Chain A
């Protein structure tokens, strides 16, 4: 069953000087219990889309349905939505975590006693039990983000919207946050998260939608996406060479030079043309590599990826000295 369905969503912002087409015909469906990563560079339209889903920005056209209800027209839909927007700016910093969670619980329609009980459960579950009475402003950024997540989960929403949930967190806090998101999805909640951190999407999401300039360029299961592109990624390690290469011609074929190696993403037939271009330089190693989301992202958007983890070797095809 799809918890979220978006069809042909569009939004254009007008200001005195310019018109920005933020979202141009985005369509998505997210199944119950899954995590969909909405991936794209800054300004791609991720946040605008997530806010249209939450009913905080009104779409120019298109439809949003959360369990069949439109959050922009039917306030009952908000009962099925939890949202963490703009990092740690979701709670009152002068209130303690417990006070924040209880207060927002009532705002979400719980009775005070229910909110109090649920706040206690969430504080324990998220490891914040010993910080329940500390003003939120005195907590680390990671803990503040956890409090925001607890606030979003207070009413047990079916759909959780997370806008850049690991942004600005250190490695430990980011790992903890990712673990919490996995646990939430494992309990049957549906998660839609935006990120421009490719590793976050790769590690967490069942499905990935890549958005670029307001348009979705691909949307499919993460594993399939990587598999599709992995069959087309090769790394050629070169021996000592004196002649320069025709970098432009290599780039046109989808290859890039990194130190003494060439990375190529494309159909296998094109690999021979790449090898022709580096002839007669000795080839030390030729291997097929598993594509990361970074590779996919670069290929599909042509944009500079914000984080570039090294591609993992998958299968050695040919090795010679």
Chain B
């Protein structure tokens, strides 16, 4: 499995390097976004503003939103791209199985993007002589966000396997996700609270709000809920992806675009 991770990282990085203009422009745009955030352009952070108007909160919120969108769209875009170029069938012939290859590829893409983002952020901190202070515990709900969002990504990927073009569905998912990130489910009680905690990504965003905007300490019980939620959506995504793979094989759709 480590070989696969190394191969996917190498592949992703090779493609990034091969087209340096894309890489440079992407990093420059990221730098401009961070700089604008530093200057107070809160609207750039999208739904992140609810995490507080301090720079630390904006950056965490911005990171959350970027991670969610990247994790969710990444897999569907990957499957569509592979079907278009004709390499999807070769992935299904892999000895690791398509699910593991696709998840590893998505994770590798995320790792490369995160590395460049963090590098850009550090450069901006040096340039603007600013400092960020946030509890390291915030990284935990961020991690659950990535897991849960990958479950949603696998769901979209499953749809892409069967229906091929899912751009409109991706937009719908992204719009719904905006609501899920904003909803203050951590303050709901009773049945609404239970339902709120059952929504994808929402509990993780709620815990981030507790940590960043309200300044409450890290609640392990709440974190256990976010982990359960993230794993449930991840497993749901895995199940749907495996089901869609069976359907695609049965209908002979793997080689089609």
Contact = CB atoms under 8 A, between A and B. Distances in A.
Contacts of B23: none
A51 B15 contact: no
Q: What size tier do the contact residues of chain A reach?
A: 35 or more
B95 A107 contact: yes
B3 A112 contact: yes
A103 B255 contact: no
* Most chain B CB inside 10 Å of its own CB: which residue of A51, A75, A93, A107: A107
Interface in B154-188: none
Given A95-B11, A107-B101, A90 B90 contact: yes
Nearest to A57: B252
Interface in A92-142: 92-95, 99, 102-104, 106-112, 115, 135
Contacts of B89: 51, 54, 56, 83, 85-86, 90
A11 B249 CA distance: 11
B4 A92 contact: no
Contacts of A106: 3-4, 6-7
B90 A75 contact: no
Nearest to B96: A107
A195 interface: no
Contact of A93 (B85, B95, B101, B246): B85
A75 B252 contact: no
A65 interface: no
A91 interface: yes
- By Cβ-Cβ distance, the 3 closest A-B pairs, closest first, are A89-B86, A106-B7, A109-B95
A79 interface: yes
B97 interface: yes
Contact of A13 (B86, B93, B249, B252): B252
A78 B251 contact: no
Contact of B255 (A13, A55, A86): A86
* Most chain B CB inside 10 Å of its own CB: which residue of A86, A102, A103, A106: A106
* Most chain A CB inside 10 Å of its own CB: which residue of B85, B95, B250: B95
A95 B14 contact: yes
B252 to A, nearest CB: 5
A125 B87 CA distance: 24
B217 to A, nearest CB: 44
Interface string B69-91: 00000000000000001110111
B18 interface: yes
A81 interface: yes
Interface of B: 3-4, 6-7, 10-11, 14-15, 18-19, 85-87, 89-97, 101, 246, 249-252, 254-255
A58 interface: yes
A151 interface: yes
A48 interface: yes
A11 B10 CA distance: 39
A89 B7 contact: no
A107 B94 CA distance: 5
A112 B7 contact: yes
Given A103-B11, A107-B4, A56 B93 contact: yes
A94 to B, nearest CB: 6
A89 B87 contact: yes
A56 B94 contact: no
B251 A13 contact: yes
Contacts of B85: 89, 92-93
A75 B91 CA distance: 13
Nearest to A113: B3
A115 B7 CA distance: 10
16 contacts: A13-B251, A54-B93, A56-B255, A57-B250, A58-B246, A58-B249, A85-B86, A90-B87, A92-B87, A93-B85, A99-B14, A103-B10, A106-B7, A107-B96, A112-B6, A151-B90
A108 B86 contact: no
B11 A56 contact: no
A90 B246 CA distance: 21
Interface in A160-204: none
Given A95-B15, A103-B7, A108-B94, 9 more contacts: A58-B250, A75-B95, A83-B90, A85-B90, A86-B255, A90-B86, A106-B7, A107-B7, A107-B96
B242 to A, nearest CB: 13
B37 to A, nearest CB: 32
Nearest to B92: A56
Contacts of B249: 55-58, 72
Contacts of A91: 87
A72 B245 CA distance: 12
Nearest to B19: A94
A94 B94 contact: no
B153 to A, nearest CB: 20
Contacts of B95: 75, 78-79, 107-109
A102 B14 CA distance: 13
